[in-house]
Homo-oligomer: A and B are copies of this chain.
Amino acid sequence: MLKQYLLSPGPTAVPERVLLRMAHPMIHHRTPQFSAIFAETKRMLEQVIQTKNDALILASSGSGAMEAAVTNLCSPGDTIIYVNGGKFGERWGKIAAKYGVNTVEIKVEWGQAVEISAVEAALDAHPEAKGVFLQASETSTATEHPIREVARLTAARKGCVTVVDAITALGVIDMPMDDWGLDVVISGSQKAFMLPPGLAMIALSDKAWALTESAACPRFYFDLATERKNQQAGKDTTAWTPAVALILGLNEVLKMIFEEGLDNLHARHALLAKATRAAVAALGMKPVSSSPATSATGAFVPDGVDGGAFVKYLRDIMGVTFAGGQDHLKGKIIRIAHLGYYDVFDICIAISAIEIALNRFGHPVEMGRGVAAAQTVLAERFPAQE
């Protein structure tokens, strides 16, 4: 017997309530029944994104919505600026290259936030740029970028938008799209939305929608104007066959989110992140990021411990799945997720497991030391009793 705990930054655990909703008998998508659920779901999603514009729901992973952002905003020969501080930042460049879109890369050391002055310099050097493409939270390094400050820079520039991959940020941190002037916000189902993979979400500002009118990159499945025509209120359907069960699940998830309340949702994530950072520090593990994400904590495994074997041992022998590192961080770090259906005791499990595993790997750490640091923070979640 080996109980399984999924503590990776996506897919994340799906609540029982959502699993049961998705297990309901299949319904047809071209029906008033589905449209009613779809419309309600979309309205709630727009409240999470905090936008008056449409939030479109796509049957794809988040990468599909990233491609949609490029192809719907740009023409071949256009220029975009993108922040590359990890695997996901890098992806903007790969997508653009496929469509003949020129790129200005702002290379950022993995684990660091982009310097706002670097973005400003790139914008000044490339007034023709259609936008700045970046991650709110770069999952590969568990690092947050200053999206609000970037949006302030593009707001003043005509025809230039801020495109935010918020796949591990939306539903984790407060990032009001309209208030902050974010032009494109992208997310996916398998992160804070506590669903299996298979849905992407994307919302565009009026400024971004204006760019779509002249954008000449070829697109069919990911043509957002076509989706908007179908998904708009009153139409309440999708251009192509929607992922019906996942949309039922998203409906349930959004109800859970509003039962908790957006403020509580964000506060819970902030507390779990704070506790995890405290635990990792107590264990003497060096953080990967100087701008640590609220969605996950990255930490270097101690010298002498093979990070690859360590993560594999935790998963296969102990039943606790974390993410390791990618590219040059492969074998060097562990990423402890805390987004979505996570609460206090998931952190206790994560840190207990890491402490036991470190000892089993011949790297003695004091048992309970990290757990205690986490508990001290986590106790804030519960009221003191008289």
Chain A residues with a Cβ under 8 A of chain B? 1-3, 5, 256, 259-260, 264-265, 268, 309, 313, 317-320, 341, 343-346, 348-349, 352-353, 355-357, 359-362, 366-373, 375-376, 378-379, 382-386
Contacts and interface: CB of A to CB of B under 8 A. Distances in A.
B268 A1 contact: yes
A173 to B, nearest CB: 17
A303 to B, nearest CB: 15
A210 B317 CA distance: 49
A334 to B, nearest CB: 15
24 contacts: A3-B346, A313-B385, A317-B383, A319-B345, A344-B352, A345-B349, A348-B348, A348-B371, A352-B352, A352-B371, A352-B375, A356-B375, A356-B378, A357-B382, A360-B382, A360-B383, A362-B386, A367-B371, A367-B373, A367-B375, A368-B371, A368-B373, A371-B371, A371-B375
Task: Please state the number of chain copies in the assembly.
Answer: 2
Contacts of A353: 345
Given A356-B378, A371-B372, A376-B367, A2 B343 contact: yes
Contacts of A372: 366-369, 371-372
Contacts of A375: 352, 355-356, 367-368, 371
A320 B373 CA distance: 20
Contacts of A367: 371-373, 375-376, 379
For the complex of A and B, the 8 pairs showing the least CB-CB separation, nearest first, are A368-B372, A368-B368, A367-B372, A348-B352, A367-B375, A345-B349, A368-B371, A3-B343
Given A348-B348, A371-B375, 13 more contacts: A1-B264, A1-B265, A3-B345, A317-B383, A318-B344, A318-B382, A345-B349, A356-B378, A360-B382, A368-B369, A368-B372, A371-B372, A372-B372
